[in-house]
Structure 1
Amino acid sequence: MDSDPLILPICTAQPDFLSVISDVHEGLVPEDTFWLSCYKFGEPSVHGKVYATLDEVNRDLVRLEGRNGVELRSREALYSASCPSLQMPQTRLAVPMKTYAENEGRKVIKITAFDVSPDGSQFATGHMDGSIYISQTSQSRPTDLCRPHVSTVTSLRFFPSSRVLLTASSDFSLSILPAAPPEDPSAQGLITPARRFRGHTRGITSTAIVSKGRNLLSAARDGTVRLWDVPSESQIRMMGSANGSCVPVLAISVGEGTLQAGDAATDEAGVDPREVDTEDKLVFTALQDGTFETLDLRTKRSVFRSRAPPAGGKSVLQAIAYAPTENLVATGSTKGVVSVYDTRALATPLTTFKRNTASIEDLAFVPLDALSFATDAGARGSVGDGSGLGLAIATEDGLPYVADVRPEGPGVRAELVGSDCDGVRAVRVVQAQEREVWTAADDGAVRRYRVRDV
């Protein structure tokens, strides 16, 4: 039988706690307080307060004192919290380096899909009315607008060039949009699709770009994963999930790799002349019945499917992430459970953990080193050197976080604070000039976090 998931703690702070500290530092008020709460599923919650007071001698120093069971430390603008009664060690409170709010002064526009270009120069958001905004990271407002769909945008993916965008929707269709930055960054323009793809019979849930973008993949609630040819706007292959049973597919993740699966791995479906760089790719799929499956793009066949959840414990798998170079795949369920597997031994998870029962909305692997989300000015402050691999996790309860996966995980590496418990639907890890974690939430805001501050 599967073991119960490890329970990780939660720490959440008043969203504007930095403003409270700033007001004290600037002398606007001599002292002030903000709340800091800690939780652990199945145990009593701890709701404390932090008192911020301007030092009487050093007027550049704000002293922070946690009370009612919480502790808060700060050093060189790095903040970390702990809660002894819940055995929660010092955990970094990572605040956004920048927040992009599309709805400033207007009604909140919920973000339903999100992506950042590989070069970090722009990002795209999708919405329930089928509209898509493309924004430059150097600008405070969107520069391009398009409405290629008639209902909710469910997936956005930039091509490797960072100048083309793949979109998908619950209206069963995909489109390709030109996404080159405008010559005049201050001008807002309308863009029209360059390609459209139709064939799914239910809403599309997830997409992926194969290699440099000659081929695309899409997954849908019709239980199929489809391979597309971009130049001809045609479908190359349709693959039914769950060994042909067509269980709704809610997320996919693609990367290089091979799995051994007896005769199935050598029984090729034939290579279509429109296929490019599909012979060494695996597609990991998260299914509505709580299982995940691996498809070999070379053979167009299933080479692995996980066991069904135990009776009474059924949950939907809603997120999946594959790290080919690390031989790891992670899944996230609607019951808040994250499981991490070694792709060389997929039958049993390496680790399983959760924080509460809030749905896992998205996952992204993030490389970590000793200075990643440090809790002190020069060291992480935990066992070992802090290097390894983590998972950035988006959650429905609006409490996204980064978890250590290995070598010392699982554990909470950082709380991604800044939202007021609005559901976070997407998370991305970008390696441009420096590694960053981005989130998009129901409050219409995109938040950008540095992995390293020192």
Structure 2
Amino acid sequence: MAAPAITPRLALQCDWSDVLFSTQEPQRKVWVCCKKGSQTSYGDLVVLGVSSDGAPYVSASDGFSADNITKRSIRITHHDSGTTATFLAAGDIFSNIHSNSVLSLDVTTGGLGVSACSQDKLIVWETSTGQVRRMLEGHVSSIYTCRFFPSGIVVLTGGADMQIKIWSAETGQCAATLTGHTGGITGTAIVDRGRNMVSSSRDGTARLWDVGMSACLDTIANCGCMINCCAVHVVDNAIDLGEPDKCPSDREVMTEGVLLLLACEDGTLQGYGLQSRKKLFEVTCTGAVNTCAFLSSTEVICGLQNGQLYRYDIRNISSPLQHWGESRGPILCVVPFHNGILLSTGDGSCLYRDVTKAESTLEFSGSDGDAIHQVAHAGRTVYTACRDGCIRKFSIPQNLL
């Protein structure tokens, strides 16, 4: 498969807001650059003065310009490449929750967050303040994935100890432990309201679980390589998911019409009928597939270790709708959002992209090159989990999307 066209990417000094709006620095200057492949153009943003309301007057050098400057956002344009992006600064930085690399997080619209770090700490906290509510103790090694059930008060986790655990976010008690995998748990996906869930593992298998009985109902797939991520979604009725060879158990609820998507280390993206247990497709990408997600009932997207993205219509999976990349690190997380996706990378990038366009339009600042392992959102508020131990909270103004 031909390599994708590499689109230009803008980058801005991570603490740009602190510097440009500082009242202490006599000389206020931040760097900006535009990367395309191996070529990088650099420039500076220099504060020339300050308006009566404290906003800086900024001059840009070397073909760059800056406008729409506020304490939380700035729009940068590189005129030679025709590239424009708006950068957001975090409204809050929660550095008190974890002291080590944050590996996973999730949030609810009800004001709770849950996150796990490389120190094996699993913590429930308040999204408004970052105040720690409780520790969830029971895993014995790194926790790779944590998420809320749709109720917003029950947490699902999995980790290197090969265990899947279900917790009460209200009491901190572990209600159930699911075992059976022979490798670390790399991902989980909740079916409908949560009577069933799917897990993916380093052991190469994806399993369907009965949550209430804490029992494995079946092994859906054995991919022969590590599975890095899984996702489920009810798909369009026109898509044939196959028929099961035997009548499903009465403990299997709402699996009809559901497609299971698997991101595999061998560079394949695989799809299975969850109820039929039939493999429906396997497409080969240009590198290890780290993450995958559904954009709709007919479209999926996956992100690769080599920084590339593939978007497919599952009604015609033979060739991608889009295959594109930028000068970024490995793609670690892809989350559907608004009319596109939120994605995070191994080089500290986090951005929003309209999937119908060839470039990113909104960049979330703050990481100084530290990997952002996970991104989550509640409405227009976005949270990032970073290797520097911080969880950053961004509020997207109405005029930016």
Distance 1:403 1:444 in 2: 25
Per-residue Cα deviation, 1:300-335 (whole angstroms, up to 9, x for no partner) = 2211111x34xxxx521011011234x211111111
How far does residue 357 in structure 1 lie from its aligned partner after superposition? 5.6
Paired amino acid for 1:39: K
Paired amino acid for 1:275: E
Picking from 353, 372, 379, the partner of 1:403 is: 353
Paired amino acid for 1:286: A
Paired amino acid for 1:393: L
2:28 paired residue number: 32
2:159 paired residue number: 169
How far does residue 451 in structure 1 lie from its aligned partner after superposition? 3.2
Paired amino acid for 2:43: G
Paired amino acid for 1:72: A
2:378 paired residue number: 430
SS at match of 1:148: coil
Paired amino acid for 1:322: F
2:107 paired residue number: 116
Per-residue Cα deviation, 1:56-80 (whole angstroms, up to 9, x for no partner) = x746442011113322112455411
SS at match of 2:174: coil
1:282 paired residue number: 259
Distance 1:30 1:154 in 2: 44
SS at match of 1:199: coil
1:207 partnered with 2:188: yes
Q: Could you tell me the TM-score, scaled by structure 2's length?
A: 0.93
SS at match of 2:28: strand
1:273 paired residue number: 250
Aligned CA RMSD, in angstroms, stands at: 2.1
Distance 1:6 1:364 in 2: 23
Picking from 413, 437, 441, the partner of 2:361 is: 413
* Mapped contact 2:55–2:69 kept (Cα < 8 A): no
SS at match of 1:272: coil
Paired amino acid for 1:112: L
SS at match of 1:194: strand
Distance 1:337 1:259, change over 3 A: farther
Distance 1:439 1:347 in 2: 34
Per-residue Cα deviation, 1:229-258 (whole angstroms, up to 9, x for no partner) = 11211111112234xxx3321101111115
- 157-166 vs 227-236, which moves further: 227-236
Distance 2:89 2:140 in 1: 35
> Which stretches in structure 2 are left out of the alignment for 5+ residues?
none
1:334 paired residue number: 305
* Mapped contact 2:8–2:83 kept (Cα < 8 A): no
Picking from 205, 211, 229, the partner of 1:251 is: 229
* Mapped contact 1:270–1:299 kept (Cα < 8 A): no
SS at match of 1:265: coil
SS at match of 1:23: coil
Paired-residue identity, %: 24
How far does residue 47 in structure 1 lie from its aligned partner after superposition? 2.0
Q: Could you tell me the TM-score, scaled by structure 1's length?
A: 0.83
* Mapped contact 2:97–2:130 kept (Cα < 8 A): no
1:147 partnered with 2:137: yes
How far does residue 97 in structure 1 lie from its aligned partner after superposition? 2.5
Distance 2:45 2:292 in 1: 37
2:292 paired residue number: 320
SS at match of 2:22: helix
1:238 partnered with 2:209: no
* Mapped contact 1:94–1:417 kept (Cα < 8 A): yes
> Which stretches in structure 1 are left out of the alignment for 5+ residues?
183-190, 368-388
Per-residue Cα deviation, 1:336-388 (whole angstroms, up to 9, x for no partner) = 11111112211111111111362110101111xxxxxxxxxxxxxxxxxxxxx
Distance 2:308 2:182 in 1: 30
2:385 paired residue number: 440
